[in-house]
Amino acid sequence: MRKIVFAPDSFKESMTAKVAAEAMIRGWKRVFPDDDCIAVPMADGGEGTVQSLVDATGGRLLQHTVQGPLGDPVVAHFGLLGDGETAVIEMAQASGLERLSPERRNPMITSTYGTGELINKALDAGAKRILIGIGGSATNDGGAGMLRALGAVFTDKDGKVLSDGGAALAQLARIDISGLDARIAATEFVTACDVDNPLTGPTGASAIFGPQKGATEEMVALLDAALANYAAVIQRDFGRAVNEVPGAGAAGGLGAGLLAFLDAELKRGVEIVIEQTKLKEKMSGADLVLTGEGGIDAQTRFGKTPYGVAKTAEPLGIPVIALAGLVKEDSMCLYEHGFAALFSIVQGATSLEDALRRGEENLAFTTENLARLFAIKNTLSERK
């Protein structure tokens, strides 16, 4: 009996990581029904991370109505993992670009307040450790909105409370954290951050990410100056130099707010998921690992789930095969990074709509064929 680990990410718009792992196992067991098949739903810290970690740990989703990027109510969720003390939040649930139609996107006024509300709800649920994925934001407020929701007060030189949004930080003179939720000091915060951008400057939050959130060239300059003022106030009053920290510019500067006031640790998203799912421990003694996601290409080696899985298996000497809906030609470079083989699951010419609809079926079919190849390998070995 073999031990096989199935550790895919979600196949976006087709199936969750859990459904993908189950489809793989179904296909494998058509050939090897007695094998020990271990499902480990994975993610890389972006969209789908909450669901994957909830599925992998036997946790649950908790849903709440919070403020969206422009203050309107939105229904968002976070995950409470199986240990009952670890919460996982995707900031995009409350403060993401997906919450706004293109014509409503305006990083001058969008706020991370709803993300702070989700943190509050996680604390209410008993969380002692909070993992926060900060991709896909619609905001450029340095996390000021999040901090307001947690009890901080931002004022100008006349003591007037600032309005929401990144532009208002140009008038920031003082940050009062005396009312910050006391539970924060006893909570560990870990942030899934896969970019190294500083807070300001030509590679900072406003310049690099502002345009995709609706910022014009003029807005970018104003927002960059506002975040620079924000960083200066933080350093002057709290002794925290966040401006040049890699990752401080993530999610419109939310990385900086998390670092300065929640003492968060910034880590690669896939590293957090690998740790939380205990992937390395579950791989111990495995004969083979299967991973995958919707698309695989040369960029996969920069922190995507299949790469993290392969790098975890490599020192253990376990071969890794990746399956995807699309495997691009430039993905051949992945053979130098711990992958034994790459396969597309799409069965012949088809429309994208059909490929997504039949994803689960195609994934099980391809995994079954891989198992049959594995059976041939075993037969050939026995004949030697």
The CATH number linked to 343 is 3.40.50.10350
Domains identified in the chain, total number: 2
Is the pLDDT at 379 greater than 90, yes or no? Answer: no
Please give the residue range of the domain that contains residue 67. Answer: 49-269
Instruction: Report residue 383's pLDDT band, with 50, 70 and 90 as the boundaries.
Output: low
Cα dist from 318 to 3, 129, 289, 312, whole Å: 11, 32, 7, 9
In a domain, 121, yes or no: yes
In a domain, 278, yes or no: no
Q: Are residues 30 and 150 in the same domain?
A: no
Is the pLDDT at 48 greater than 90, yes or no? Answer: no
Q: Which of 236, 269, 302 is the last residue of a domain?
A: 269
Q: Are residues 341 and 221 in the same domain?
A: no
What percent of the chain has a predicted confidence (pLDDT) above 90?
A: 85
Residues 366, 6: Cα–Cα separation, whole Å: 14
In the numeric block, which tokens belong to residue 356?
């997504």
Residues 318, 292: Cα–Cα separation, whole Å: 16
Is the pLDDT at 84 greater than 80, yes or no? Answer: yes
Instruction: Report residue 240's pLDDT band, with 50, 70 and 90 as the boundaries.
Output: very high
Q: Are residues 220 and 322 in the same domain?
A: no
Instruction: Quote the strand ranges of 56-152, DSSP E.
Output: 60-67, 73-80, 86-90, 129-133
CB 324 within 8 A of CB 345: yes
Q: Which of 205, 238, 269 is the last residue of a domain?
A: 269
pLDDT of residue 359: 87
pLDDT of residue 352: 83
Is the pLDDT at 356 greater than 90, yes or no? Answer: no
pLDDT of residue 315: 95
pLDDT of residue 44: 86
Q: Are residues 157 and 20 in the same domain?
A: no
In a domain, 241, yes or no: yes
pLDDT of residue 384: 59
Q: Are residues 96 and 129 in the same domain?
A: yes
Q: Are residues 25 and 71 in the same domain?
A: no
Which of 183, 137, 175 has its CA nearest to residue 159?
175
In a domain, 280, yes or no: no
**Taking all residues of the chain, what is their mean pLDDT, rounded to a whole number?**
94
In a domain, 325, yes or no: yes
Coil, strand or helix: which one is 295? strand
Q: Are residues 223 and 260 in the same domain?
A: yes
Q: Are residues 312 and 264 in the same domain?
A: no
Is the pLDDT at 136 greater than 80, yes or no? Answer: yes
CB 8 within 8 A of CB 20: yes
Q: Which residues contact 319 (CB under 8 A, 6 or more apart)?
A: 288, 289, 313, 340
Rg (CA), the chain: 23
Give, rounded to a whole angstrom, the gap between the first and last alpha carbons of the chain.
Answer: 20
In the numeric block, which tokens belong to residue 329?
């030609």
In the numeric block, which tokens belong to residue 193?
């951050």
Instruction: Report residue 165's pLDDT band, with 50, 70 and 90 as the boundaries.
Output: very high
Q: Are residues 238 and 329 in the same domain?
A: no
Of the two residues 306 and 47, the one the predictor is more confident about is 306
Q: Are residues 200 and 91 in the same domain?
A: yes
Instruction: Report residue 253's pLDDT band, with 50, 70 and 90 as the boundaries.
Output: very high
CATH number for the domain that contains residue 115 = 3.90.1510.10
Q: Which of 226, 243, 269 is the last residue of a domain?
A: 269
- Work out the average pLDDT over 251-257: 96
Alpha helices in 187-240 (DSSP H): 217-238
- Work out the average pLDDT over 239-245: 96
In a domain, 275, yes or no: no
- Work out the average pLDDT over 77-81: 97
- Work out the average pLDDT over 135-150: 96
Residues 41, 8: Cα–Cα separation, whole Å: 6
